[in-house]
């Protein structure tokens, strides 16, 4: 008996030591929102009803100048979750899994799991039906729900993106083979049916998150809970009460309903994603339809916000809030008629500038804002540092923890985004650099980046909407040369200068 106790005592001591160390580590509530551009209350848009988004901002910090690495779902989420850039993940489309190029990469969730956290994911974290089992402690879940509340709209919704199930699991190329979605093949682009919140996926995800918080509050280990909300992604479906929050006659339309002057014609595309929905015409969207679409987008934000509120309420009710870091991010920006275009899929400011809120218990600058330039690849190292975890060597971002301590300090010299295109059947890539004052984009041959097809230059001091490309103006040649050299220096040369 004595020898048995002697063997057990060291084991129990180790367990208690680990639990004691874990007890001091903060929990992470990791909130992803699909297609949420930085236009709601926390960003000064008080005409959008977003009390729960604003609640996070009031307790934390709002990043005015956060940027994604590629403005479309799978590339941006793969980049954020791996802490690497699209040219490293090799994910530039919606069909490739990052494990194809990075089979052994340690993802953000995986890193926390490997360091004693209970890590669970639900809703849209990775793109679509993509998942990554090593990221989670338990299998990821995504509740099923109808896309519309009205039977007639469900009947119209016959999307023709048919993935080959064999290709989805193809280890050779990691791609889901898809067919293009025909125009007008989906249901309507908006709906405001008089139905309960939990009719749709976000309502069900909120219920699952609340139930999960009740369970994990009983466990000794710290948690990393990733909750992905689908709205305001198209279609703009929300229960009627959220539509009723807005008077459509007061909704303002984009003032720059034209393409950027002197920009290459492929820089911004009209928004083919929107045209897959029933009743959306080709060409410029008429003002009355544009106003209805914006009404739907705003209502979808408010619906998502209400579901977010249920999760935040449970976090507080359970007593977990006092030791939980909350981060909320929109996966990329979105155009609502700017440049006579809709959706994302470009390098412009509307698409690459993202919503990012971060609340840390006890932070001394709660409710503040920062203009420091940050990128989505910076989220991984930031959360790891805040939790006291060592940083993996593969990361291509920089922790912005110092900005929480001094929000007004200067930070990165630039943020980098990219978007692929095809010109005359040849693949090109637009590499975009956002500095404090300028957006510079070089469109280059994807097989030889020394071959530049065209250049864009926008001065945000005089042209914050990016309406006039200055790159071809003779008096801007020196500036273009300077920015070209800075761009070629890459993200490694744009890191913040740390003060001693």
Extract the tokens encoding 408: 């007004």
3-state secondary structure of 436: coil
Q: What is the mean pLDDT of the chain?
A: 92
pLDDT for the residue numbered 400: 98
Model confidence over 461-471: pLDDT tens digits?
Answer: 999 999 999 99
The Cα 13–Cα 78 span in angstroms is 39
DSSP state of 285: P
**Structure tokens, 275:** 């045209």
Among residues 97, 111, 127, 339, the one annotated as catalytic is 127
Per-residue pLDDT for 367 more than 50? yes
Residue 321: cis peptide before it, omega within 30 degrees of 0:
no
pLDDT in tens, 193-220: 999 999 999 999 999 999 999 999 999 9
The CATH number of the domain covering residues in 26-404: 3.40.720.10
127 included as an active-site residue: yes
% of the chain beyond a pLDDT of 90: 88
Note the pLDDT of residue 310. Answer: 98
Predicted TM-score (pTM) of this structure: 0.92
Does the pLDDT at position 475 exceed 60?
A: yes
Residue 172 clears pLDDT 50, i.e. is over it = no
Catalytic residue (choose from 68, 73, 343, 348):
73
Residue 270 has pLDDT above 80, yes or no: yes
Contact 267, 346 (CB under 8 A): yes
Say what the pLDDT of residue 159 is. Answer: 58
> Is residue 96 within 8 Å of residue 74, measured between CB atoms?
yes
Band (pLDDT 50/70/90 cuts) for residue 163 is: very low
Task: Give the whole-angstrom CA distance, residue 160 versus residue 344.
Answer: 21
Chain length of the chain: 500
- 111 is known as an active-site residue: no
Q: What is the dihedral of CA 359, 365, 368, 372, to 10 degrees?
A: -90
- What CA–CA distance (Å, rounded) separates 468 from 262? 7
pLDDT at 499: 63
SS3 413: coil
* Confidence band, pLDDT 50/70/90 cuts, at residue 166: very low
SS3 27: strand
CB neighbours of 218 closer than 8 A, spacing ≥ 6?
Answer: none
pLDDT tens digit sequence for 55-70: 999 999 999 999 999 9
For residues 181 and 165, give the distance between their C-alpha atoms in angstroms, rounded to a whole number.
Answer: 17
Q: Where are the domains of the chain?
A: 26-404
Q: CA-CA distance, 150 to 125, in Å (whole number)?
A: 27
**Bridge partners of 456?**
441
The stretch 270-288 carries a mean pLDDT of 95
């Amino acid at each position: 008996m004595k020898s048995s106790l002697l063997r057990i005592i060291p084991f129990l001591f180790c367990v208690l030591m680990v639990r004691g160390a874990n007890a001091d580590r903060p929990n992470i509530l990791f909130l992803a929102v699909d297609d949420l551009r930085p236009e709601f209350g926390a960003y000064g848009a008080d005409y959008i009803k977003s009390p729960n988004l604003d609640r996070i901002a009031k307790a934390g910090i709002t990043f005015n100048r956060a940027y994604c690495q590629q403005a479309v779902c799978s590339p941006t989420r793969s980049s954020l979750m791996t802490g690497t850039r699209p040219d490293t993940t090799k994910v530039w489309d919606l069909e490739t899994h990052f494990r194809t190029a990075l089979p052994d990469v340690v993802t953000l969730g995986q890193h926390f799991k490997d360091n004693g956290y209970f890590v669970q994911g639900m809703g849209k974290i990775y793109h679509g039906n993509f998942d990554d089992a090593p990221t989670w402690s338990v299998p990821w879940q995504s509740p099923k729900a109808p896309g519309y509340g009205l039977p007639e709209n469900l009947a119209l919704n016959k999307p023709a993106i048919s993935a080959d199930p064999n290709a989805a699991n193809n280890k050779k190329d990691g791609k889901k083979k898809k067919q293009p979605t025909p125009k007008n093949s989906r249901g309507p682009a908006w709906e405001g049916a008089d139905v309960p919140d939990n009719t749709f996926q976000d309502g069900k995800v909120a219920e699952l998150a609340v139930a999960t918080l009740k369970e994990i509050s009983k466990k000794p280990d710290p948690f990393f809970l990733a909750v992905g909300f689908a709205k305001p992604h198209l279609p703009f479906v929300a229960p009627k009460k959220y539509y009723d929050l807005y008077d459509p006659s007061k909704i303002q339309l984009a003032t720059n309903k034209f393409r950027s002057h002197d920009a290459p014609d492929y820089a911004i595309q009209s928004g083919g994603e929107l045209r897959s929905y029933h009743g959306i015409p080709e060409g410029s969207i008429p003002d009355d339809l544009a106003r209805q679409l914006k009404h739907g987008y705003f209502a979808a934000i408010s619906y998502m916000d209400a579901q977010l509120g249920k999760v935040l309420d449970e976090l507080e009710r359970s007593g977990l809030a006092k030791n939980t870091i909350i981060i909320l991010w929109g996966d990329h920006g979105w155009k609502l008629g700017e440049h006579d275009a809709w959706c994302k899929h470009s390098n412009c400011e509307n698409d690459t500038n993202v919503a990012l809120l971060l609340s840390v218990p006890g932070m001394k600058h709660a409710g503040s804002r920062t203009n420091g330039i940050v990128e989505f690849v910076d989220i991984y190292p930031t959360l790891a540092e805040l939790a006291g975890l060592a940083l993996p060597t593969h990361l291509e971002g920089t922790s912005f923890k110092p900005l929480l301590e001094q929000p007004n300090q200067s930070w990165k010299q630039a943020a980098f985004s990219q978007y692929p295109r095809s010109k005359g059947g040849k693949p090109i890539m637009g590499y975009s650099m956002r500095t404090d004052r300028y957006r510079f984009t070089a469109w280059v041959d994807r097989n030889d980046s020394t071959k530049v097809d065209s250049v864009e230059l926008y001065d945000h001091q005089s042209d914050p909407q990016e309406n006039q490309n200055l790159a071809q103006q003779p008096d801007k040649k020196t500036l273009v040369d300077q920015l070209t050299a800075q761009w070629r220096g890459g993200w490694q040369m744009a890191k913040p200068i740390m003060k001693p």
